[in-house]
A and B are shown apart, each in its own frame.
Chain A
Amino acid sequence: MLPILHALQDEFGYVPQAALPMIAEALNVSRAEVHGVVSFYHDFRDKPAGRHVLKLCRAEACQSMHGEAMAEKLLRDIGLEWGGTTGDGRLTVEATYCLGLCASAPAAMLDGQPIGRLNQEALLDLAHDARHQQEGRR
Chain B
Amino acid sequence: MARIFVPADAAARAVGADKVASEIQAQAAKRSLRVDIIRTGSRGLFWLEPMIEVETAAGRIAYGPVRPEDVSSLFDAGLLIAAAHPLRLGRPEELSYLKRQTRLTFARCGIVDPLSLEDYRTHGGYRGLQRALSLGPAGIVEEVTKSGLRGRGGAGFPTGIKWKTVADTPAERKYIVCNADEGDSGTFADRMLLEGDPFVLIEGMTIAGIAVGATKGFIYIRSEYPDAIRVTTQAIAIAREAGYLGSKLAGSSHAFDLEVRMGAGAYVCGEETALLESLEGKRGTVRAKPPLPAHKGLFAMPTVINNLISLASVPVILSEGAANYADLGMGRSRGTMPIQIAGNVRHGGLFEAAFGLTLGEIVMDIGGGAASGRHVRAVQAGGPLGAYFPPSLFDTPYDYEAFAARDGLLGHGGLVVFDDSVDMARMARFALEFCAIESCGKCTPCRIGSTRGTEVMDRVMAGHDREANLALLEDLCQTLKFGSLCALGGFTPYPVMSALKHFPEDFGRAPNRDVHAHAAAE
Residues of A within 8 A of B (CB): 1-3, 5-6, 27, 33, 36-37, 40-44, 59-66, 96-105, 107, 109, 112-117
Q: Which residues of B are found within 8 Å of A63, using beta-carbon distances?
A: 427, 430
Contacts A103-B46, A103-B349, A107-B14: A64 and B416 contacting too (C-beta < 8 A)? yes
Name 5 A/B residue pairs within 8 A (Cβ), A-sorted.
A2-B263, A59-B185, A59-B384, A104-B14, A113-B13
Measured between C-beta atoms, what is the minimum distance from A67 to chain B in Å? 10
Is there contact, CB below 8 Å, between A60 and B384? yes
Is there contact, CB below 8 Å, between A98 and B185? yes
Nearest chain-B residue to A102 (Cβ)? B342
Residues of B within 8 A of A (CB): 10-11, 13-15, 46-47, 49, 182-188, 190-191, 223-227, 261-267, 278, 281-285, 340-345, 348-350, 371, 380, 384, 414, 416-419, 421-422, 427, 430, 434, 437-438
Is there contact, CB below 8 Å, between A102 and B14? no
Is there contact, CB below 8 Å, between A97 and B434? yes
Among B13, B182, B224, chain A packs the most CB atoms within 10 A around the CB of: B224
Among B184, B262, B343, B414, chain A packs the most CB atoms within 10 A around the CB of: B343
CA distance A44 to B266 in the complex (A): 11
Please pick, from B224, B345, B371, B384, the residue contacting A100 in the complex, using a CB distance under 8 A. B224
Is there contact, CB below 8 Å, between B14 and A96? no
Measured between C-beta atoms, what is the minimum distance from A26 to chain B in Å? 12
Measured between C-beta atoms, what is the minimum distance from A92 to chain B in Å? 14
Q: Which residues of A are found within 8 Å of B182, using beta-carbon distances?
A: 98, 100
Is there contact, CB below 8 Å, between A105 and B224? no
Q: Which residues of B are found within 8 Å of A59, using beta-carbon distances?
A: 185, 384, 434
CA distance A112 to B348 in the complex (A): 23
Q: Which residues of B are found within 8 Å of A60, using beta-carbon distances?
A: 185-186, 343, 380, 384, 416, 427, 430
Is there contact, CB below 8 Å, between B188 and A102? yes
Is there contact, CB below 8 Å, between B225 and A100? yes
Is there contact, CB below 8 Å, between A97 and B14? no
CA distance A82 to B480 in the complex (A): 28
CA distance A107 to B437 in the complex (A): 20
Nearest chain-A residue to B49 (Cβ)? A104
Is there contact, CB below 8 Å, between B185 and A114? no
Is there contact, CB below 8 Å, between A44 and B264? yes
Measured between C-beta atoms, what is the minimum distance from A118 to chain B in Å? 9
Please pick, from A37, A99, A102, A113, the residue contacting B282 in the complex, using a CB distance under 8 A. A37
Is there contact, CB below 8 Å, between A105 and B343? yes
Measured between C-beta atoms, what is the minimum distance from B57 to chain A in Å? 33
The SS class assigned to the A binding surface is: mixed
Is there contact, CB below 8 Å, between B340 and A102? yes
Is there contact, CB below 8 Å, between B266 and A104? no
Measured between C-beta atoms, what is the minimum distance from B9 to chain A in Å? 9
Q: Which residues of B are found within 8 Å of A116, using beta-carbon distances?
A: 11, 14-15
CA distance A98 to B416 in the complex (A): 12
Contacts A37-B281, A101-B14, A102-B188: A61 and B264 contacting too (C-beta < 8 A)? no
Is there contact, CB below 8 Å, between A6 and B262? yes
Among A42, A61, A63, chain B packs the most CB atoms within 10 A around the CB of: A61
CA distance A65 to B46 in the complex (A): 15
CA distance A64 to B376 in the complex (A): 11
Contacts A103-B342, A104-B46: A43 and B264 contacting too (C-beta < 8 A)? yes
Q: Which residues of A are found within 8 Å of B341, using beta-carbon distances?
A: 103
Is there contact, CB below 8 Å, between A65 and B343? yes
Is there contact, CB below 8 Å, between A114 and B264? no
CA distance A101 to B46 in the complex (A): 9
Measured between C-beta atoms, what is the minimum distance from B299 to chain A in Å? 14
Nearest chain-A residue to B182 (Cβ)? A100
CA distance A101 to B9 in the complex (A): 10
Is there contact, CB below 8 Å, between B371 and A42? no
Nearest chain-A residue to B269 (Cβ)? A41
Is there contact, CB below 8 Å, between A42 and B266? yes
CA distance A3 to B263 in the complex (A): 9
Is there contact, CB below 8 Å, between B343 and A61? yes
Measured between C-beta atoms, what is the minimum distance from B132 to chain A in Å? 30
Q: Which residues of A are found within 8 Å of B186, using beta-carbon distances?
A: 60-61, 98, 102
CA distance A43 to B13 in the complex (A): 23
Among A60, A96, A102, chain B packs the most CB atoms within 10 A around the CB of: A60
Measured between C-beta atoms, what is the minimum distance from A123 to chain B in Å? 13
CA distance A66 to B437 in the complex (A): 21
Q: Which residues of B are found within 8 Å of A66, using beta-carbon distances?
A: 421
Is there contact, CB below 8 Å, between B384 and A41? no
CA distance A115 to B371 in the complex (A): 18
Is there contact, CB below 8 Å, between B267 and A114? no
Nearest chain-B residue to A34 (Cβ)? B281
Q: Which residues of A are found within 8 Å of B344, using beta-carbon distances?
A: 64-65, 105
Contacts A96-B224, A102-B342: A3 and B262 contacting too (C-beta < 8 A)? yes
Is there contact, CB below 8 Å, between B348 and A103? yes
Nearest chain-B residue to A6 (Cβ)? B262
CA distance A114 to B47 in the complex (A): 16
Q: Which residues of B are found within 8 Å of A2, using beta-carbon distances?
A: 261-264, 278, 281
CA distance A36 to B266 in the complex (A): 14
Contacts A59-B185, A103-B46: A5 and B224 contacting too (C-beta < 8 A)? no
Measured between C-beta atoms, what is the minimum distance from B342 to chain A in Å? 4
